Amino acid sequence: MDTFLQSVEVPTIRATLQMNHGRANRSLDLLKPAEPYDQNTTKSLYTRGCAYLLAERPQEAIAQFEKVVNLRNYWPPDLIVPFAQLGIARSYSRLHVRPKAIAAYQELFILWKDADPDIPILKEAKAEYARLQ
């Protein structure tokens, strides 16, 4: 079977399912086989960032989300990049680092400047941003 599928795709799906049940640490364990591929794939990085955030480890989440954002030039239309930016904003907010959280939300809104304003996640992000003001 395909190595990438077995090392990245399947563990990422399994990790997401574990997060849906609140099992962040199990999710992180499942993502270990994907680590060698972190240099050029955003899915496992983003999923790992979400797991760290769920595990109340926002500093580690930021590191993963920043890796995703840094890959934006690797595949410019990657839709995961804005979600990683939102993850950075939420992580800084959890750390109570208000200026960095505000800056991260502002960067998100630049990325989504042409998005439909009625998209639920964008509304949610704007509400989170407003609470920081």
Question: Residue 64: which CATH number?
Answer: 1.25.40.10
CA distance 57 to 60: 6
Domain hosting 96: range is 3-132
State whether residue 39 is helix, strand or coil.
Answer: coil
CA distance 92 to 119: 23
Global pTM reads 0.94
Domains of the chain: total: 1
Question: Predicted confidence band at 1 (pLDDT cuts at 50, 70, 90)?
Answer: low
Kindly tell me the number of DSSP H helices and DSSP E strands found in the chain: 8, 0
pLDDT tens by residue, 70-123: 998 877 778 999 999 999 999 999 999 999 999 999 999 999 999 999 999 999
pLDDT tens by residue, 23-61: 999 999 999 999 999 888 899 999 999 999 999 999 999
CA distance 86 to 107: 9
Residue 74 has what pLDDT?
A: 79
Tokens 């399947």 locate to 10
Q: State the DSSP code for 36.
A: G
**HSE-up of residue 14 (Cα within 13 Å, Cβ side):** 17
